[in-house]
Structure 1
Amino acid sequence: MAVDRTGSGDERGHAVPGTTISDMLGTIGTGAYLVDARSCVVAVNAEGERSLGRAAAELVGQDAHDLLHRNARGETFPRTQCRMRPAFMAGRPLHQTAAEWFERGDGSLLPVSWTIVPCGWGERDTTLVLFTPRDDPAALAGQPSDDGTLNELERLALLAEVTTQLTSTLSVDEALQRLLSLVLPRLADWAVIDLINEHGEVWRNTVAHVENGTLTHHRGLEGPMTPVSPASQMPLSRALRGVASTITEPRVYEGSLDTGIAVEQHRLFETTNMHSAAIAPIRGLRDVLGALTLGRAERPEKFSAADLALVEDITRRAGLALDNARLYQRQRKVAETMQRYLLPQLPRVEGLDMTARYLPAPDASHVGGDWYDAFPLTDHATALAIGDVSGHDLDAAAGMAQVRNVLRAYAWSQKEPPSRVVERVDRAVLSITDVPMATLVYGTVALRDDGAWELEWTNAGHPPPLLITREGVTRYLAGGNGMLLGTGTHPPRADTSDVLPPGSTLLLYTDGLIESPRHSIDDGLERLRRQAAALVHHPLEVFTDELLSRVRPAENDDDIALLALRLGTRP
């Protein structure tokens, strides 16, 4: 394989980080190449190079139709006559058994059967092309055999689909749903997935079959199972221990049953009327993650040894995908827990209703440096802060904690206006922290003698706070602007003050809420303003959650911190 790009996707359907095109194509035992939306070859496997008599360097970057596709006389033909093109454009798989020809590197024609499988790799819309020489003795006819099993090319196509579909999601639930859609009803009438969690507990996650073209779950058969017995020789217990795959039938689970798992299997066969089942362990890199059971009830043919080998190939791929997804979710949970631990509890202040939210970045490695803070000062004012330390890693999270602690120390000990406090923080950032650069809005809010709330603030390169009156009138607080922290220039900073109307809502937020590669920051600010105005009549908690739901960009790859206040009067 001459081309080896690493996937860098997320849980919305792109390639899993660390998985390469080489990894994917290397598992396929027939000729295969990957094309992009323009039909240009992205990668080819070693078997594809051998069959086509062309090195990867001759194929990658070339238009596959122009380079390879020929008619029976060896002539090129218009793209509009290509049988692959409609499936490319519709994004659907297609199996072609009629005569087709590819041109080899020496100019000779190679008669082939082919299958195409849409798949997403990284940010691309790509399609996998599998081809088998028609004069190859290993290539079987295009129609299913008499016993209803899949032919060789169909098996390879299914395994390719399993690989591309399962390695392009970081969600366990999504991976399992895709697995079901791939095996039902193609291989079986029923599919059962049993999973083992990190505590060794077994859960019957899925019992499903296709009913009138719709995937239907049998919830009454799903749920917790008894522990796996180390001594049981029943097929499912052996699979859950990773001992062996098995073809089984109802009579195996009749008579004396040695474990609770065997009892559940007996109930499964009785309820579903399965007459034949193939059971294979789902193995991760280190542990057995569960087992897949495929059962046949409506179709008369029993599972064969070839079917069981195919199911084992499927579960091997499923195990790696589930391992990746579980690792991702564990990393994400640890990162999110650490970030939330570093963020403060909000103080209780009479006359002020406060709430805050933190949303981690979609990528588990993006811990982020977004933060908020609110704390009482000695002069009965309340300090408010929102900031963003540059970077998306553990260093950014640690830097966020450093900046917040420095700000708290200066704000508490130095009875100075916000601008002077931030000037001190700016100098400290270079001298006593590891923070490269950061943005910050810092202000104080206090109740005046006339019963009105006054906000005094300064802004170090951060998006401006948004004020929404209870009547829905909005404006951005654009004063007090200055350079971000960490530049080393230490410019003088300005303060701005404003009286906040009773019942108004003040919103401080980080740029992940308004930035998107699909629109400008001005568009993001306008969207935030309009949605905030429409929601301001809701209670503050509802206002905040709905605002995040409506405004957060769908393609956002940054974390978000948000601090919201609603102002009243002290009794």
Structure 2
Amino acid sequence: MAAGPGRAGTPHLTYDTYRLRTASGEYRHFAVEAAPVRDGDTVIEWVGTCTDIEQEWQEARQEELLARASAATADIVRLDEMLAALAEVIVPEIADNCTIYLLPQALHRLPGTALTADRVAAAHRDGLPDLPVHHEEHLESGSPLARAADGRRPVHAVFPPGSPPPDLAPPGSAPWLAEGANSVVLFPVVVDGTTAALVTASVCGDRTPLGPADISLLRMVLQRSHTPLRNALEYQRTRQVALALQRSLLTEPPRVPDLGIAVRYRPSSAAAEVGGDWYDAFELRDGALALTIGDVSGHDLPAAVTMSQLRNMLRGLTLDRQEPTGTILRRLDVAVQTLYLECTVTCVLGRVERPGPGRFQLTYSVAGHPPPLLVGTDGTARFLYDARSPLLGLVPEPEYGSATEPLPAGSTLLLYTDGLVERRGEDLTVGLERLRREASGAVRLPLEDFCDRLLDNLLTTVGDDDVALVAVRVPEDVGGPGSGTGPH
């Protein structure tokens, strides 16, 4: 590079980087370095070099961008917050727009079927329309995002500004590309063979379209999300198995003459929780109705597995011998302290019996569990505290007592787990009193509606725990038809 004569005071050396379009139409970065040739104080010419530094420029850009991605996500634990931070790194350095979707059904969705995607992050450069996050979208099987998820490889397209090809914007489909886009990358984030997330990145107007170098850089930035995405997928697998196990145990109650029985189970609405609650109701050989409800410590797959084993064990012990309920719980405690050394369990075991024509009574034992609630037809409600004992697995050689309570005609007996009454930062007695008042006001409802009313009015929108309950109603006219319905 040369220049004509100059004046005194012209710099001794100049250096700058330019992005130039080559003869092939490709844009590359060049370093231009020039030095003046002087005659005394007069510059008579310039001598310089023009060097292709595209590779070095891309490496420096990559190093800087990855450092920014590391800094942006360093103290973030939540997956959605991490993805939002990465989107803000991608825009505007790589793209003008970036949206990130999580695929909640990734593990059990069949390829070629419709796709549910939760948009958890969206970023755009100034002047472009905003997109709300935490928006669920249902994508048809042939949509561009669904194809990218099924193919598990990036989809890249370059086109005239505002004129995407038909396969990216089929007629009648909802718009998802920014107006004026000239290129787009649909990037599936694949973790252990499963597409866990989808990323869209696009540039608009006269900005250079996205190319292979941008896709490579996008891949490296998103690599930082693999570990939390892998953990999220593993959690999904674990929760799926645990919920399937729990629901396999939510059997329908028996149909018992002259008794109404209703059961309910509500899983925790907290995404990270799988509970150990269970219920059971079955007839014994002597005609009594056995009722159990309990809660195993822990909120994970091992807790759900332990819950299923102890529930079935208690069923077997109750059927094996006609013993007092306290004696049966003592035998179950031996099993807990022998086989499940790190486990504690709360439980209620009851027998609804007929001591004479037209009469019912409850014989029960409570092991560290919230007390049963008995509600009369007039709304009088009281908790049954007479057979309280330590929870299972806690005390060496404990004693478990039993108590008997008459069940008046028309009365309703309620067994429940602590998720119905416990709230963070609140004393348990407050929750118990809230349940007592609610049950008292709802007791004249049909039994199924009674259970639904309790769940609707007592559970918060974000429940920290799962909830199980069993309700038994003695008819006012003994001999009338009973009712038994399955879990809702």
| TM-score tier after normalising by the smaller chain length | 0.5 to 0.7
Change (3 A) 1:456 1:495: same
Matched letter for residue 223 of structure 1:
L
Measure, in 1, the Cα distance between the counterparts of 2:330 and 2:133: 62
Counterpart position of 2:399: 491
1:352 aligns with 2:259: yes
Q: Which position in structure 2 is the counterpart of 1:168?
A: 78
Q: Distance in 2 between matches of 1:470 and 1:326?
A: 49
Equivalents in 2 of 1:373, 1:194: separation in Å?
37
CA distance in 2, matches of 1:303, 1:253: 13
The 1:483/1:222 distance shift into structure 2, 3 A limit, reads closer
CA distance in 2, matches of 1:547, 1:470: 17
Answer yes or no: is 1:276 the counterpart of 2:182.
yes
State the secondary structure of the residue aligned to 2:234. helix
Evaluate the alpha carbon distance shift between residue 559 and residue 270 of structure 1 in structure 2; reply closer, same or farther with a 3 A threshold. Answer: closer
- Do the aligned partners of 1:377 and 1:383 also contact (CA within 8 Å) in 2? yes
Deviates further, 552-561 or 446-455: 552-561
1:269-321 alpha-carbon deviations (Å, 9 max, x no partner): 89975441320422233336264333466x66454568766654564456655
* Contact 1:282–1:288 under 8 Å retained in 2: no
Q: Deviations over 1:110-158 (max 9, x none)?
A: xxxxxxxxxxxxxxxxxxxxxxxxxxxx9xxxxxxxxxxx9x9999778
Say whether the 8 Å CA contact 1:275–1:302 is kept in structure 2: no
For residue 381 of structure 2, what is the aligned residue in structure 1?
474
Structure 2 counterpart of 1:223: 139
1:89-488 aligned within 5 A: 168-169=78-79, 188=96, 197-198=106-107, 199-201=110-112, 203=114, 215=132, 223-226=139-142, 241=151, 243-244=153-154, 246=156, 248-249=158-159, 254=165, 264=170, 273-287=179-193, 289=195, 291-295=198-202, 301=207, 303=209, 311-312=218-219, 315-317=222-224, 321-360=228-267, 368-427=275-334, 429-430=336-337, 436-447=343-354, 449=356, 451-486=358-393, 487-488=395-396
Deviation at 1:181, TM superposition (A): 9.5
CA distance in 1, matches of 2:171, 2:67: 31
Alpha-carbon spacing, 1:493–1:178, altered in 2? closer, same or farther (3 Å): same
Contact 1:383-1:443 at 8 Å conserved across structures: yes
Amino acid paired to 1:248: V
Q: For 1:431 and 1:320, how far apart are their aligned partners in 2?
A: 38
**Using the alignment, how far apart are the partners of 1:193 and 1:365 within structure 2?**
19
Mark the CA change 1:265 to 1:154 in structure 2 (over 3 Å): closer, same or farther.
Answer: farther
Cα–Cα, structure 1 residues 475 and 353, in superposed 2: closer, same or farther, change >3 Å?
same
| CA shift in 2, pair 1:413/1:217, >3 Å | closer
Cα deviation, residue 463, structure 1? 1.4
Greater relative contact order (Cα 8 A, min sep 6): structure 1 or 2?
2
Aligned to 2:49: none
Assess if the C-alpha contact under 8 Å between 1:239 and 1:245 holds in 2: no
2-structure distance, mates of 1:159, 1:376: 61
For 1:514, give the aligned amino acid: V
- Structure 2 vs 1, CA of residues 274 and 326 (structure 1 numbering), >3 Å: closer, same or farther? farther
1:547 counterpart = 2:454: yes
CA distance in structure 1 between the aligned counterparts of 2:293 and 2:169, rounded to whole angstroms:
57
Alpha carbons of 1:245 and 1:380: their partners in 2 closer, same or farther (altered >3 Å)?
closer
Contact 2:114 2:146 in 1 (8 A): no
Worse-matched range after superposition: 436-445 or 183-192? 183-192
How far apart are the structure 1 equivalents of 2:328 and 2:86?
57
Residue 20 of structure 2: aligned partner: none
Alignment of 1:14-93 (within 5 A): none
Compute the displacement of 1:493 (Å). Answer: 1.9
Q: For residues 8-55 of structure 1, what are the alpha-carbon distances to aligned partners after superposition, in whole Å with 9 as ceiling and x for unaligned?
A: xxxxxxxxxxxxxxxxxxxxxxxxxxxxxxxxxxxxxxxxxxxxxxxx
Equivalent-residue separation in structure 2 for 1:218 and 1:344 (angstroms): 36
Q: What TM-score comes out, normalization by structure 2 length?
A: 0.64
Q: Distance in 1 between matches of 2:106 and 2:229?
A: 12
Deviations 1:422-457 (A, max 9, x none): 344445555677685433221111346453432222
**Cα drift, residue 402 of structure 1:** 4.3
After superposition, give the CA deviation of every residue in 1:390-428 in whole Å (9 maximum; x if it has no partner).
455555444434443443334334334433443444455
Rounded to whole Å, the distance in 2 between the matches of 1:391 and 1:457 is: 25
Query: In angstroms, what is the RMSD of aligned CA positions?
Result: 5.0
Aligned length: 405
Give the 3-state SS of the residue equivalent to 2:425 in structure 1: coil
Amino acid in structure 2 at the alignment position of 1:281: F
Partner of 1:523: 430
| Deviation of 1:350 (Å) | 2.6
SS in 1 for 2:371: coil
Matching residue's letter, 2:247: R
What are the Cα deviations for residues 228-276 of structure 1, in whole angstroms up to 9, with x where unaligned?
A: 9xxxxxx99789645556451259965xx8xxx5674997789975441
**Using a 3 Å threshold, how does the CA distance of structure 1 residues 200 and 348 change in structure 2: closer, same or farther?**
same
Residue 324 of structure 1 deviates from its aligned partner by 3.6
- The letter of the residue matching 1:358 is Y
Structure 1 Cα separation of the partners of residues 275 and 474 of structure 2 = 30
Q: Bigger shift: 204-213 or 394-403?
A: 204-213
Cα distance in structure 2, aligned partners of 1:236 and 1:444: 54
CA drift at 1:337: 1.0
Equivalent residue of 1:379, what SS? Answer: coil
SS at match of 2:191: coil
Secondary structure of the residue aligned to 2:185 is strand
CA contact (8 A) 2:413 2:472 kept: yes
Q: Which consecutive residues of structure 1, in runs of 5 or more, have no partner in the other structure?
A: 1-137, 139-149, 229-234
Q: CA separation in 1, counterparts of 2:90 and 2:178?
A: 17
Q: Does structure 1 retain, via aligned residues, the 8 Å contact 2:447–2:473?
A: yes
Q: Contact 1:387 / 1:462 at 8 angstroms: preserved in 2?
A: yes
SS at match of 1:284: strand
> Computing the radius of gyration over CA atoms, which structure comes out larger, 1 or 2?
2
| CA distance in 2 between partners of 1:361 and 1:544 (Å) | 17
Provide the C-alpha distance between the structure 1 equivalents of 2:146 and 2:351, rounded to a whole number of angstroms: 64
Q: Is the 8 A contact 2:185 2:210 kept in 1?
A: no
1:539 Cα shift? 4.0
